Amino acid sequence: MSVANEGDIVLLVSPDGKHYLIRLKTGDMWSTHKGNIFHEEIIGKPLGRTLYTHSGAGYLALEPSTHDLIHELPRTTQIIYSKDAAQIALRLSLYPGRTIVEAGTGSAGLTLVLARAVMPTGRVYSYETRAESFDIAQANLSELGLLPYVTLYNEDISGGFHEREVDAVFLDLREPQIFLDHAWACLKGSGFFGALVPTVNQAVALIEGLQARPFGDISMEEIYQRPWKTVPGRLRPEDRMIAHSAFLVFARKIEAGDESLTWMPDKRRRAYKGKLAMAERERQDAMKAQLSGASDEYDRPQASPDAPNDKRGEQSDL
């Protein structure tokens, strides 16, 4: 947009680099401790220019980028950083007309990136179990005008996804390896799989799960972003950088029984399945022990208050 219209979202940048997003509406006013700016001063006028509050403070009016929208969204969950979101869109080969299933909508930071990549002819199917996050995501996507390109579900995915033959699946979940069979089932042949996990332990479990199923071309990466001070006379990196935020794991759906799956040694596949079986047995044993302990505690006779105490003559070390 070169000219701002009513209903547009506009970015205001202060001299000290702070960013503010406002939606333009006739009659409204944006207020700050440095003064006020009436929306009529922006509506119908070109962007890329400085506006002044009634007290003389200047703000640069710009069209917001997708990066700006992600970081300024109202949220209750951790956002996916732009550096990761951009790589996800590229690695999942998203472009207009594509379809993608996302599990773990959160506040819809990544969802807006996916929707902008596949619109206007593609679609995002996004699942979120928490009602509060679902409501925030729905409001954020509505505010950005992206709901026509997104189907939101406030559902648990333990029973699988509604969609089939989609181009890509992305999981932003605590234990994505649990849902790999569901992801495989809804992907088209050679479809793109991706997931985000913050810790090494989670990444190990996910990769082992992928290797035990018909997935191929498995890879993992993390992305670092280091901004620089844009002062020519003392050009150097900023004091802070966005380092580790998450591990990104990608794979492709392979036909069950394909020869390429034998490239992974059967020994490793059997070891993984054995590990899952052992973990399940340990879980069941722990539950039995807990139930048995509760039963013993209930059946144990209570000592009489008049019964002699064998330790009555012992001297305390305290």
Rounded to whole angstroms, the Cα distance separating 246 from 70 reads 17
Handedness of CA 80, 86, 87, 92 (dihedral sign): positive
Q: At residue 150, what is the residue type?
A: V
What percent of the chain is modeled with pLDDT above 90? Answer: 70
pLDDT category at 284 given cuts 50, 70, 90 is: confident
Rounded to whole angstroms, the Cα distance separating 233 from 1 reads 34
Q: At residue 55, what is the residue type?
A: S
Indicate if 141 and 181 belong to the same structural domain. yes
DSSP 68-119: HHHHHS--SSPPPPHHHHHHHHHHTT--TT-EEEEE--TTSHHHHHHHHHHT
Secondary structure element (H or E) that encloses residue 246, with its range: none
Helix (H, G, I), strand (E, B) or coil at 130: coil
pLDDT of residue 262: 81
- Residue 15's domain comprises 9-64
User: Would the pLDDT of 302 be above 60?
Assistant: no
Q: Which residue has the tokens 């890879």?
A: 219
Q: What is the DSSP letter of 40?
A: G
Residue 244 lies in a domain: yes
Domain count, the chain: 2
pLDDT per residue over 1-48, tens digit each? 689 999 999 999 999 989 999 999 999 999 999 999 999 999 999 999
pLDDT of residue 315: 42
Any bridge partners for residue 101, and if so which?
A: 125, 169
Indicate if 164 and 220 belong to the same structural domain. yes
Any bridge partners for residue 23, and if so which?
A: 9
Q: Find the DSSP H helices in 212-304.
A: 266-299
Residue 271 lies in a domain: no
Indicate if 200 and 220 belong to the same structural domain. yes
pLDDT category at 294 given cuts 50, 70, 90 is: low
Boundary residue ending a domain (64, 83, 105): 64
Indicate if 135 and 243 belong to the same structural domain. yes
pLDDT per residue over 164-203, tens digit each? 999 999 999 999 999 999 999 999 999 999 999 999 999 9
> What CATH number has the domain bearing residue 60?
3.10.330.20
pLDDT of residue 264: 64
Residue 171 lies in a domain: yes
pLDDT category at 310 given cuts 50, 70, 90 is: very low
Q: Which residue has the tokens 């002062």?
A: 231
pLDDT per residue over 230-274, tens digit each? 899 999 999 888 888 899 999 999 999 888 888 766 656 666 667
Indicate if 101 and 57 belong to the same structural domain. no
pLDDT category at 298 given cuts 50, 70, 90 is: low
Q: Is 288 exposed, middle or buried (0-12, 13-18, 19+ CB in 10 A)?
A: exposed
Mean pLDDT along residues 64-70: 93
- Which residue spans within the chain are E strands per DSSP? 9-13, 19-23, 29-32, 35-38, 49-52, 58-62, 99-103, 123-127, 150-153, 166-171, 187-197, 215-221, 228-229, 236-237, 247-253
Does 232 sit behind a cis peptide bond, omega within 30 degrees of 0 on the bond before it?
A: no
Among the listed residues 264, 251, 275, the one whose alpha carbon sits nearest the alpha carbon of residue 190: 251
Indicate if 118 and 173 belong to the same structural domain. yes
Residue 288 lies in a domain: no
Mean pLDDT along residues 306-318: 43
Q: At residue 71, what is the residue type?
A: H
Indicate if 132 and 148 belong to the same structural domain. yes
Indicate if 198 and 83 belong to the same structural domain. yes
Indicate if 96 and 219 belong to the same structural domain. yes
Indicate if 216 and 143 belong to the same structural domain. yes
Helix (H, G, I), strand (E, B) or coil at 310: coil
Indicate if 54 and 161 belong to the same structural domain. no
Residue 160 lies in a domain: yes
Q: What is the mean pLDDT of the chain?
A: 88
Any bridge partners for residue 38, and if so which?
A: 29
Rounded to whole angstroms, the Cα distance separating 202 from 125 reads 24
Indicate if 157 and 107 belong to the same structural domain. yes
Among the listed residues 104, 112, 45, 39, the one whose alpha carbon sits nearest the alpha carbon of residue 72: 112
Q: Which two tokens stand for residue 215?
A: 């997935």
Rounded to whole angstroms, the Cα distance separating 241 from 171 reads 26
